[in-house]
Structure 1
């Protein structure tokens, strides 16, 4: 029995699965990841600062126009559609097998595919708030703003995306909810992440079961801790398995 068949058997016999995913889940939807050879941090663009700087809280406050120029061009993929991984996870939830999706992604594709219980550790491009009065705005307000820095229609304050920038802490409610689901799961599937972004990567330490599955195109430093390691595209792996259940 190969590892895909073993994973199918594990999924078939479990009704308490949690999925924890990163940027690699969305690369099959043509959204670039960060650290691969074709990722956001390796691409050469005409920006004066590296992406890690431009996506920081300090940069947002000090160079808000430049932040939004980069953010709108490099972080938003409004026309992206869910891929086989997103749909497979949605189906597993509908079947009563998957209890939660925990994601580091901000693209909203899990919800677009139909997943209901999605914990977004790093926020979402689809939620935006006025920094002064708290008024909520959707993604269209950011994209359709006639000003370089989107402003609040109520008070004129700067609108900030509800995404976690460098130097900002994760939302306590999101992280506590994620810990709860990981700790209480029978099966933890980790996919599309190199597990190098902290504190999110620490979630794996809360898993108390014996069915840790890692699905990633490249190896990770946690491979030796896993019950199964599958180095392949996550959409192909999960899509194929769910079709056969």
Structure 2
């Protein structure tokens, strides 16, 4: 499918919702999780698997090991938005895109200019003390002299505001995502394997006939897509001529 045809579909829509996963940010230099070159297949977690390290129990039992992995493999503070992020921000400025629903925790949509971003899995940009709830920035976490960042007020451990394994997604946020998808006249799903629940199940609430699925690999929802595109997300969105990369 050409970018021109996709652009024509966008031009006929005014309630677009974008649902994205890790593949949206890979061309910004942030690795995904499950591909051959992804975090789960290339990371060196020592005696622990990445899925174990990124769990709630592991964080509380072994915060030093958690942060060694987290700081070296999960944080990309210098990453910049790519053409897809900028194009989505432009669609929002035009009033066509109503929401970005993302499984990513990197904050690149906001850096590109998007305002209504539903971060299902949280964000590395937000951090808080698990005892007194004082807030901390990513720069403060990275710049901490200690392996495990501690609260300057009470001495408690500072935790990233990201959803770890064994933690539940925010119910109110999920309900908002469901409402946006149910009301959409066009749903663009990109860069996600659609295997992580409950987020992957959100697409079943879409009832329209402009379901665009853009991903490099196969997904369980390929057969339901009205338009299926294999390839680079950034290149496809760059071809729309919407938002230019800065």
TM-score norm. by structure 2 comes to 0.96
Quote the Cα distance in structure 2 between the aligned partners of 1:148 and 1:195. Answer: 34
Q: Aligned in 2, Cα 1:134/1:44: closer, same or farther, shift over 3 Å?
A: closer
Corresponding residue for residue 97 of structure 1: 96
SS at match of 1:105: coil
Match of 2:127 in 1: 128
Q: Aligned partners of 1:164 and 1:148: how far apart in 2?
A: 21
Q: Shift in Å at residue 4 of structure 1?
A: 3.2
- How far residue 3 of structure 1 moved from its aligned partner, in angstroms, is 4.6
1:85 lines up with 2:84 in the alignment: yes
Partner in structure 1 of residue 111 of structure 2: 112
Residue 138 in 1 paired to residue 137 in 2? yes
Decide whether the 8 Å contact of 2:126 with 2:138 is kept in 1.
Answer: yes
Matched-pair contact (CA < 8 Å) for 2:90–2:242: no
Structure 1 runs of 4+ aligned residues shifted over 2 Å read 2-6
Gaps of 5+ in 1: none
Give 1:45 shift.
Answer: 1.8
Whether the aligned pair in 2 keeps the contact of 1:3 and 1:229 (CA below 8 Å) is no
Matches within 5 A, 1:33-112: 33-45=32-44, 47-112=46-111
Coordinate RMSD, CA, aligned: 1.2
Q: TM-score, normalised by structure 1?
A: 0.97
Instruction: Report the number of matched residues.
Output: 243
**Could you tell which deviates more after superposition, 114-123 or 140-149?**
140-149
Q: Say whether 1:173 aligns with 2:172.
A: yes
Shift of 1:178: 0.8
Q: Distance in 1 between matches of 2:64 and 2:191?
A: 32
- Output the CA distance in 1 between the equivalents of 2:9 and 2:218: 21
**Which residue does the alignment assign to 1:192?**
191
